[in-house]
Chain A
């Protein structure tokens, strides 16, 4: 029950509510725990509440760190749950 996903805010509603896009599904969630969320922001949604806003710059930094670290070649058996381009 701890799994939570980053979702894009698509509409702000009254009463601290918002509509988010969760993997193509539109869902109403609560913004009661976060401040200053705007349409287009990504929030991490857990049990119907946004826990925090996702920081796109920090996400980019982490991704480029992965890329820098993995300038390596081949490696054997990989779980098929990974996403392969």
Chain B
């Protein structure tokens, strides 16, 4: 595939690995966080860590939208189908995240089938949910909108379309979260779980928001940020760029993913987001806790499309499973293999925590591509 295969070229990867080796200083360590699950996935799948010198360590960050959603939010989605009798449309990954009472969206769906009533449909796109609402005018359809800035604009599009169409049976359960506040939470944590020498910034989030919103990390926290694409060579070049900045003692925002990301980002998408959403005062994240100004809600002008108010559901905090270390994994404080149920009670087939669900989750990525090496080496 054009623009994909070239960025997975094995010979170039070898060359980049040698280039990294030749620039790494022996008298220090390098700890870089890849914020995004997309990078975590690429690093695991291509064994990028194996190509790095021992003193360069990659730490997984919280940038997996399915992983950071707390149990209480999944519980709200389940209440929508079991108690409010709506058709809930969800992206695939959130369906398997464990929630309260041994339920998940998938299990709640199985429980209801045969009894009639509410159900859950997996959708690929927000547009699929809108279409379903048009096709089933006698049923309330709710789109379970999750994700960082990458998925937010497409949710905005369907809310505007629903208003233009005058749809009375469509609403959105908005759980969209923002990347820069999560980065700020990691960098500004009072007792920093890890001291970082730099960050790999998101690929697709940055196509929307641009590189400017990361400047605070360089300016306030003196951490280099390199925005990078999700292919393995992109990640390797970003690591080299971070090593160079670390060696030079500088902290700047650089852009490795210039084929898709600009400084200003996608202004049209930003305008759509601003039209439809506003910041919530606070939002609960799995792992990071309550963060101010870190998530979006639907503006009052579009209140009729806001499932939270239409169906009066409220968030209640629920603790994670007692053995689950997802919170520490999401902060970069623990590796997946340091969770005592990793690979035993918790596997991609039977996830206990959210980080084992999506292929971008740190635990799922480790399990699928690196678990044996990791356990032997631990």
Please give the residue numbers on chain A whose beta carbons come within 8 Å of chain B beta carbons, in ascending order. Answer: 1-6, 8, 23, 30, 32-35, 42, 44, 46-49, 51-52, 54-56, 58-59, 61-63, 65-67, 69-75, 77-79, 81-85
Contacts and interface: CB of A to CB of B under 8 A. Distances in A.
Contacts of A78: 10, 13-14, 47, 51
A2 B37 contact: yes
A33 B7 CA distance: 25
Query: At the interface, is chain A mostly helix, strand, loop or mixed?
Result: loop
B14 A33 contact: no
Nearest to B257: A62
B18 A73 contact: yes
Given A33-B154, A69-B237, A8 B266 contact: no
B17 to A, nearest CB: 5
Interface of B: 1-19, 22, 36-38, 41, 45-47, 50-51, 63-66, 91-93, 124-128, 147-148, 150-151, 153-154, 157, 204, 207-208, 230, 232-234, 237, 240, 256, 258-261, 266, 268-269, 272, 358-360
Nearest to A52: B207
A23 B2 CA distance: 9
28 contacts: A1-B66, A2-B148, A2-B150, A4-B150, A33-B154, A33-B269, A42-B2, A46-B204, A47-B151, A48-B124, A51-B150, A55-B258, A55-B259, A58-B258, A59-B3, A62-B234, A62-B259, A70-B11, A70-B18, A72-B15, A72-B19, A77-B50, A78-B10, A79-B45, A79-B46, A82-B8, A84-B9, A84-B10
Contacts of B125: 30, 47-49
B126 A47 contact: yes
Given A51-B208, A52-B260, A66 B46 contact: no
Contact of B92 (A1, A8, A69, A74): A1
Contacts of B5: 83
B14 A75 contact: yes
Among A46, A48, A67, A69, the one with the most B-chain Cβ atoms within 10 Å of its Cβ is A69
A72 B50 CA distance: 18
Nearest to A70: B15
A79 B240 CA distance: 19
Given A61-B258, A79-B45, A83-B10, A2 B65 contact: yes
Contacts of B37: 2
A44 B19 contact: no
Contacts of B3: 6, 42, 54, 59
Given A33-B268, A55-B259, A70-B12, A49 B230 contact: no
A16 to B, nearest CB: 9
A69 B21 CA distance: 12
B269 A51 contact: yes
Contacts of B148: 2
A63 B230 CA distance: 14
A1 B91 contact: yes
Contacts of A5: 1, 4
A66 B236 CA distance: 10
Nearest to B148: A2
Among B2, B126, B237, the one with the most A-chain Cβ atoms within 10 Å of its Cβ is B2
Top 6 nearest A-B pairs by Cβ distance? Answer: A70-B15, A48-B125, A72-B18, A82-B10, A79-B47, A75-B14
Given A1-B360, A33-B153, A79-B50, 14 more contacts: A1-B147, A2-B360, A44-B207, A47-B124, A51-B269, A58-B259, A61-B258, A69-B15, A75-B15, A78-B14, A79-B45, A82-B46, A83-B10, A84-B11
Contacts of B268: 33-35
Nearest to A22: B1
